[in-house]
Structure 1
């Protein structure tokens, strides 16, 4: 199976690499080549000479023409073998116990739709979402577009971004729209599992909830007309603002109907025990859902992503196999039948493991095995046409996939890897994941979460991905939640220098990766465009905008201006 791009999520670099300390010590000064003469001292009259240079942020210009990436919906719908019917349903609001409906004989009527919310018994669903529809934008006051004071140190690269480099921001429906039972959306996995409660960029990445488009999820069930209208509106709004849309089909929010009973748990190590991916009807249902999206929106969307981070959900061979086949069928429908001219890929989560001691062969073997397991399950068959290694197939058929972070078994990683018995709880990763180097230092500046500022590891990471799977790399989510930001007053939240350092250093390393390492990095999307609900937690603020969840008032953070300014000042010369 061939692909046009490899989409991968950048979260953190784990492990550490060896540090070399010179005998002379001190910091190098690469730009100071001439000896410094002895200073001379003298008196002068004092005057205030430090005047601020005021610069204002500007929005990207509206598009003068809209490029088409596929056939119009009326033509694309001809590729369905059965006619798609559309309908509308009502809304489900917190606290409802019953909805009067007389159409009980209709398997897809209002009564059937309401029964999904009633039977789900969603104790965690207590509020409506923050956003439920698109609205006319409110002009940003000019005073809020003044660029913040510059940091003293800044990147020293001398490169411009390629003309086709994709730069933008990202968000997801579940984390922005919230647990929304409005306009026909039915329950998804996240409502069951999680307990709770003018941008200057050229691309906006968002997700579309499966249960909003197809409340009954399966092929042959009605399409929600209100959902189609909503995302037509959103896509057109993005285009009108001068941006391009990037759409993810499935971002953790699988339809709840794929899950039997209440035997759904959150895995302590890597994610959710999502049996839905192993459901025998999953592939056909997902492909049908993907086709509905493509036939309605592919004409205006240049980049599509099928799955977001499937490793967190595919706990056995059937789950991995279903994701690979579903992705492949959608890919071929888009390119072979619709003749789409955009790009379509899959988004992986991945921590990059490096050997703690690169001179230790067992450490190197552990790092290589870690990479192979993190990405190889999906990337090998999709991008290289390679079957899964028989060792992994046998393991996935009989044991759940998880990553244990304890010390390898006696004898090193090879001994652990050869012991496939259920008694070996370290299998299959057989590694110890740490975030300190061999001298005890953290690998980088720590955030409020698991993220570290590790630009050096990023460049090595991109090099490894590109040269292993031989497809362009898209850093489709990367962001930094500043430590304790949620506890600070608003002015201190907005002056988020650690996040600026994170973005600017990572983007500078991306440029070096492109020009010095020959890696085809096709783009980068900042996570996220606004402080959001980070799967049960509002305190981990990844956003480059602060948001008041009561008033919906938003404020740009320093990192927003710094990141956009960094990219805009490195545009290719005309």
Structure 2
């Protein structure tokens, strides 16, 4: 557990990790050193040999059908006055291979206007999936629910998970739904990624979850998962984006049925309002989606938070969309997130300002007008920065700067009622100052801290510069974080087993990260994405993809370190959501497979991976009753 000292503005790390020099092999603290095996000499004997072996056949435990119904807010019939004058309509599908032409030219929000939003973009190789209507589910066969052979070495701690620990899986609409031009949906900025990066795979089909959602929910519930985390695309609910434009009746019916089916299968729905899918109407040119290095940008792509469309700000339009979704579904949804990893989609300081204020407005709307009893947060990203040398104050300062920029920028105002951190204000010159009134309104507008800690990053200062000099230089190559990021510590070893690009298995740092979050921002913590793509998994035979031991080790080791944080360090860790419930579209790539199910890209058949069984079993076998 890390050492900390409290200052007036919060907690500041003194050290992240202590290296303990040890000669020779490690001790075995879990074994009794003075027991009989410490000094006894093994005996040897012959006996009749036979091929005997014990193999336990264990089945996954499906979610039981609910016996009671819990509500978290009044239903829409009682909340409709909060979003007055809504009109609903529906649109068709857009298929560039079709010769059909809309005939309602001149109607402001008719099919011709809707189609024009698709034909305005020069799509390349636009394809459709094999489904065009919702597929009714079939029960998962018993043979698929037999647990695989257990790992021979698993964490040996005896800690338990609280009875109400949230065990979930997650995915985002833009990465799994497909059917991007069906039933009224209009383009979002990530749909254009294959146009911006030639050779990148597109999301036009993805997992066809839009039509296969019932089967996917059936499969997930059959494994015993408690929470199904998904996102609802703004452009499906409001194809023309703005307040006063028609609401898509088909999309309301779709997500209403999806939520009902989740509940029918004994799980609970958890909804993200914005997960990297800003309507394309906010972009005058698709080239605006990218953020060029050296231009002072905050994130990697522009999610349009700072933009306006027809003189309506993103903030105003998004809050309107959020109110529509919440009033329709808040009665049955216990957990909401407004934004997912907003830092990565922020272009500048105005982007951050729009996000935190839109989030706070929806929080107040949910609590004060809807009077909802569920929980709300927003999910932040940070591959936890740890100092290269914990004994070097410069490295510790660099790690604090790295984490502050990514986390405290949003978390200081929302969780602590405090101003932006210096790491953000010193780097982003156009940040919008927060007044005392702003901070009072923002403070406490999240019920738990939501984080996505895939891995860790070893941090030190810039090699030939200072952090301050980098922050002041708009074109500095290390902006916006202004630190050196590495994967090796002072020992020269990598921090963990590497799978793909940036992802390393770093479970001990996960425990440290939970301590950092809990002691800094002082709210319960939910891990809303964590996962692991095995190196070159897409090139393996089907059976080898299913027997994914390294991903199992990832989940078991992370969960085990979380238990230590819970029981030994006093951290209030409330839940974990695996990313993802199936291999999906990883923003231009289908071969970066984070899923705990495989997906056949031709037939859309799903198959469980070993890690799915082990992820659920690790928690449920240790859950308090």
Fold conserved between structures, TM > 0.5 = yes
Q: In the TM superposition, what are the counterparts of 1:555-570 in structure 2 within 5 Å?
A: 555-570=607-622
Distance 1:199 1:60 in 2: 7
Aligned partner of 1:443 among 491, 495, 498: 495
Q: Report whether the alignment pairs 1:362 with 2:394.
A: yes
Distance 1:55 1:404 in 2: 41
Quote the offset at 1:74 in angstroms: 1.0
The aligned residue for residue 54 of structure 1 is 57
Quote the offset at 1:258 in angstroms: 0.5
Distance 1:129 1:307 in 2: 28
Quote the offset at 1:457 in angstroms: 0.2
Query: For each residue in 1:437-471, what CA deviation from the matched residue of structure 2 results, as whole angstroms up to 9, or x when unmatched?
Result: 21221111111332111110001001101111111
Which structure 2 residue ranges, 5 or more long, are not aligned?
Answer: 1-14, 195-199, 203-221, 432-456
Distance 2:18 2:485 in 1: 15
Instruction: Assess if the C-alpha contact under 8 Å between 2:402 and 2:481 holds in 1.
Output: yes
Quote the offset at 1:134 in angstroms: 4.8
The change in CA–CA distance for 1:268 and 1:204 in structure 2 (over 3 A counts) is farther
Aligned partner of 1:38 among 41, 45, 60: 41
The change in CA–CA distance for 1:425 and 1:143 in structure 2 (over 3 A counts) is closer
The aligned residue for residue 284 of structure 1 is 316
SS at the partner of 1:278?
coil
Distance 1:373 1:447 in 2: 26
The aligned residue for residue 12 of structure 1 is none
The change in CA–CA distance for 1:99 and 1:377 in structure 2 (over 3 A counts) is farther
Q: Which has the higher contact order (CA 8 A, sep 6+)?
A: 1
The aligned residue for residue 83 of structure 1 is 85
Distance 2:542 2:499 in 1: 18
SS at the partner of 1:264?
helix
SS at the partner of 2:45?
coil
Distance 2:406 2:521 in 1: 13
**What is the aligned-residue RMSD (CA, Å)?**
2.4
The aligned residue for residue 75 of structure 2 is 72
Distance 1:38 1:490 in 2: 46
Q: Report whether the alignment pairs 1:24 with 2:24.
A: yes
Quote the offset at 1:100 in angstroms: 1.8
Q: In the TM superposition, what are the counterparts of 1:325-474 in structure 2 within 5 Å?
A: 325-389=357-421, 392-393=424-425, 395-398=427-430, 408=462, 410=464, 412-413=466-467, 415-416=468-469, 420-422=472-474, 424-474=476-526
Quote the offset at 1:267 in angstroms: 4.1
Quote the offset at 1:377 in angstroms: 1.2
Instruction: Assess if the C-alpha contact under 8 Å between 2:89 and 2:247 holds in 1.
Output: yes
Quote the offset at 1:62 in angstroms: 1.0
Instruction: Assess if the C-alpha contact under 8 Å between 1:134 and 1:230 holds in 2.
Output: no
Query: For each residue in 1:460-504, what CA deviation from the matched residue of structure 2 results, as whole angstroms up to 9, or x when unmatched?
Result: 001101111111111000011111111111111111010000001
SS at the partner of 1:396?
coil
The aligned residue for residue 203 of structure 1 is 227
Instruction: Assess if the C-alpha contact under 8 Å between 2:399 and 2:460 holds in 1.
Output: no
Quote the offset at 1:390 in angstroms: 6.5
Distance 1:261 1:99 in 2: 27
Name the count of aligned residue pairs.
Answer: 552
Distance 1:354 1:325 in 2: 30
Quote the offset at 1:122 in angstroms: 2.5
The change in CA–CA distance for 1:16 and 1:516 in structure 2 (over 3 A counts) is closer
Query: For each residue in 1:296-334, what CA deviation from the matched residue of structure 2 results, as whole angstroms up to 9, or x when unmatched?
Result: 111000000000110011121110000011000000000
Q: TM-score, normalised by structure 1?
A: 0.91
Quote the offset at 1:254 in angstroms: 0.1
Which structure 1 residue ranges, 5 or more long, are not aligned?
Answer: 1-14
Instruction: Assess if the C-alpha contact under 8 Å between 1:266 and 1:273 holds in 2.
Output: yes
Query: For each residue in 1:175-226, what CA deviation from the matched residue of structure 2 results, as whole angstroms up to 9, or x when unmatched?
Result: 1013610000001101112442323101000110110000001111000000
Query: For each residue in 1:60-87, what CA deviation from the matched residue of structure 2 results, as whole angstroms up to 9, or x when unmatched?
Result: 101111211111111111112x310000
The aligned residue for residue 4 of structure 1 is none
Q: Report whether the alignment pairs 1:319 with 2:320.
A: no
The change in CA–CA distance for 1:346 and 1:217 in structure 2 (over 3 A counts) is same
Quote the offset at 1:90 in angstroms: 0.6
The change in CA–CA distance for 1:37 and 1:369 in structure 2 (over 3 A counts) is same
Quote the offset at 1:425 in angstroms: 4.3
The change in CA–CA distance for 1:129 and 1:239 in structure 2 (over 3 A counts) is farther
Query: For each residue in 1:412-454, what CA deviation from the matched residue of structure 2 results, as whole angstroms up to 9, or x when unmatched?
Result: 44x536x614364445522111011212211111113321111
Q: TM-score, normalised by structure 2?
A: 0.84
Query: For each residue in 1:30-72, what CA deviation from the matched residue of structure 2 results, as whole angstroms up to 9, or x when unmatched?
Result: 3142223112222111122212121111201011112111111
The aligned residue for residue 7 of structure 2 is none
The aligned residue for residue 454 of structure 2 is none
Distance 2:26 2:564 in 1: 25
The aligned residue for residue 128 of structure 2 is 128
Quote the offset at 1:136 in angstroms: 2.9
Instruction: Assess if the C-alpha contact under 8 Å between 2:552 and 2:610 holds in 1.
Output: yes
Q: Report whether the alignment pairs 1:113 with 2:114.
A: yes
SS at the partner of 2:336?
strand
The change in CA–CA distance for 1:94 and 1:150 in structure 2 (over 3 A counts) is farther
Distance 1:236 1:297 in 2: 10
